[in-house]
């Protein structure tokens, strides 16, 4: 029996009408390969390599729906002039037998005022220690514009040949800022109760659904927990999942963490303070990271499948396909996810470490990724382009686990 028939994770899966060759999706990991705010040849080659490496679908990330939704000067934002290059990227992915998704989002209150040349917007007026900036509260006119931007960005993604879009409603991005009590202190119909906090994100999903049609796959990345007191908790996340299913989402990616407050909660493992300091361009923030990096950026111990227990609560509450992410390191992890009723898994750092990992797992050459979760790649992506620092330094991970016997 071959590895590909032995494990369910290597069987075909479907999201809406999109058939995927297996159930392993490359997560939306910011590549840092859009130095002029546009997709590059480097970005093309990066996703081509991951696609050739065997993933079912690769997620191009991050793409702002407008320029005022950017956190870095080397992120792309969706507009007509980048569509031809995005077409080349999707063509390259398709030639390798994989599907292509693009992550669309808006950074909201943690957008960089230095990059966007204006004051960031958010659900409420909020000081962001991550940026040392103060956002302004969005008006209903702002919400209408952002909603329209999401729809236009999705339409352009379809024209560029993407097989799916992923709307970012997790990690403290704008849509999840509306969901989180920590960033949403509004007193109108968009704040207060969870029903009110859901109103704007749900309206965005509904508008994108109307724009791309009933059959096109829309994945939503959402939080199970924000990772701090006063943030979104899993009880509310279950209700969010139900609302997103009703609004027209095709699948949910169950994640966690808040970029502007608990950035490594979504990853776990070591804090790469040295790389963060090196990448930071703001002198004041650079000094703060150098002196107090271990306080500003909390460390969360890594565990395999660290979101499984919370994700099971969502699995019991909705009928749509679910994608499990968070510490998916091995075939054993993937098969556990399949047995627990999850339809797909997403992996990120493992593909940065080795773009060909899925083929190697499928051929029985490896049991698990040998990424040791040092997270130095995270610091690298802030400066761009992302890479495995251990490999660049010519050394192997101390956690290498080669296949010696069957599971």
How many residues are listed for the chain in this entry? 407
Which residue among the candidates 173, 190, 244, 265 is catalytic per the annotation? 173
Q: Element (H or E) spanning 399, and its range?
A: none
Catalytic residue flag (residue 173): yes
Burial class (CB in 10 A: 0-12, 13-18, 19+), 94: middle
Strands (E), 278-341: 322-324
Distances, alpha carbon 1 to alpha carbons 5, 6, 93, 364, 406, in Å: 7, 6, 29, 11, 11
Asked if 238 contacts 208 with a C-beta cutoff of 8 angstroms, the reply is no
Q: Report which DSSP code applies to 296.
A: H
Q: Which residue has the tokens 């590549």?
A: 31
Report the alpha-carbon distance of residue 236 to residue 176 in Å, rounded.
12
Q: Quick count: other Cβ atoms within 10 Å of Cβ 192? A: 14
Report the alpha-carbon distance of residue 23 to residue 7 in Å, rounded.
10
Distances, alpha carbon 248 to alpha carbons 118, 212, 243, in Å: 33, 11, 9
Half-sphere exposure of residue 92, counting CA atoms within 13 Å on the CB side?
21
Report the alpha-carbon distance of residue 366 to residue 76 in Å, rounded.
35
CA nearest 137: which of 96, 176, 186, 91? 186
Q: Report which DSSP code applies to 82.
A: G
Question: DSSP labels for 112-143?
Answer: -HHHHSS--EESS--EETTTTEE-EEPPHHHH
Task: Identify the three-state secondary structure at position 102.
Answer: strand
Return the active site residues.
Answer: 173
């Amino acid at each position: 029996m071959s590895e590909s028939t032995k494990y369910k994770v290597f069987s075909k899966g479907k999201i809406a009408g999109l058939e995927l060759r297996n159930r392993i999706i490359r997560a939306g990991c910011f590549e840092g390969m859009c130095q002029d705010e546009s997709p590059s040849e480097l970005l093309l080659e990066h996703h081509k390599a991951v696609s050739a490496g065997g993933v079912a679908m690769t997620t191009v990330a991050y793409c702002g729906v407008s320029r005022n939704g950017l956190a870095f000067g080397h992120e792309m934002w969706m507009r007509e002039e980048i569509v031809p290059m995005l077409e080349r990227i999707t063509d390259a992915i398709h030639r390798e037998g994989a599907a292509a998704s693009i992550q669309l989002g808006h950074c909201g209150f943690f957008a960089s005022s230095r990059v966007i040349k204006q004051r960031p917007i958010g659900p409420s007026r909020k000081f962001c220690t991550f940026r040392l900036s103060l956002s302004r509260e969005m008006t209903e006119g702002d919400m209408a514009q952002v909603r329209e931007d999401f729809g236009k960005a999705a339409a352009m993604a379809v024209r560029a040949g993407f097989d799916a879009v992923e709307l970012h409603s997790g990690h403290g991005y704008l849509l999840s800022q509306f969901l989180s009590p920590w960033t949403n202190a509004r007193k109108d119909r968009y704040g207060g109760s969870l029903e009110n906090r859901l109103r704007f994100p749900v309206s965005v999903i509904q508008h994108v659904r109307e724009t791309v049609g009933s059959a096109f796959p829309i994945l939503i990345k959402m939080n199970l927990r924000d990772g701090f007191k006063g943030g979104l908790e899993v009880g509310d996340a279950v209700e969010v999942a139900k609302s997103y299913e009703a609004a027209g989402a095709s699948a949910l990616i169950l994640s966690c963490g808040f970029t502007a407050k608990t950035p490594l909660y979504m990853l776990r493992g070591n804090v790469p303070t040295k790389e963060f300091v090196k990448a930071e361009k703001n002198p004041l923030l650079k000094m703060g990271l150098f002196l107090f990096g271990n306080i500003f950026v909390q460390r969360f111990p890594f565990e395999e499948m660290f979101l499984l227990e919370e994700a099971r609560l969502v699995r019991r509450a909705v009928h749509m396909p679910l994608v499990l992410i968070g510490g998916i390191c091995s075939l054993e992890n993937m098969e556990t996810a399949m047995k627990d009723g999850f339809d797909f898994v997403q992996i990120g750092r493992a593909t940065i470490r080795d773009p060909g990992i899925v083929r190697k797992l499928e051929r029985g050459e490896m049991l698990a990724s040998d990424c040791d979760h040092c997270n130095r790649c995270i610091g690298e992506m802030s400066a761009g382009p992302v890479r495995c620092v251990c490999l660049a330094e010519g050394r192997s991970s101390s956690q290498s686990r080669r296949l010696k016997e069957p599971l």
